[in-house]
Amino acid sequence: DAEITQSPRHKITETGRQVTLACHQTWNHNNMFWYRQDLGHGLRLIHYSYGVQDTNKGEVSDGYSVSRSNTEDLPLTLESAASSQTSVYFCASSEERSSAKQYFGPGTRLTVT
């Protein structure tokens, strides 16, 4: 069955370190998204991609970057981790753009100490 996976599921890192969160989908979807989930804010869009070599900034992109070198993967990099980036991160993919169903990964809980 097609799926979307994230790794690691839990990560603890120190302030200032570079961290990369992996997202891999086997749906062959062109569209992929990264969100962060924080209490009182719901989900907020960090970055999204509509295809290979395409990346776009979302609502809360500062301090994050993504790259899309193939259809299956959209890694999220925190260039210099900050305590404000402690959160749960969700990756999602969809077959069509914003009107379509999104498939979510299980999430990565990141703690920055």
Partner 1 sequence: GDSVTQMEGPVTLSEEAFLTINCTYTATGYPSLFWYVQYPGEGLQLLLKATKADDKGSNKGFEATYRKETTSFHLEKGSVQVSDSAVYFCALGGGNQFYFGTGTSLTVIP
Q: Which residues bind partner 1 (CB under 8 A)?
A: 33, 35, 40-45, 48, 50, 56, 58-59, 90, 92, 97-102, 104-107
Strand ranges, E, within 17-83: 19-25, 31-38, 42-51, 54-57, 64-66, 76-78
Question: Closest approach of Cβ 84 to partner 1, in Å?
Answer: 18
Q: Which is nearer to partner 1, 8 or 16 (CB)?
A: 8
Helix/strand/coil percent split, the chain, to 5: 5, 55, 45
Question: Closest approach of Cβ 51 to partner 1, in Å?
Answer: 13
Question: Closest approach of Cβ 85 to partner 1, in Å?
Answer: 19
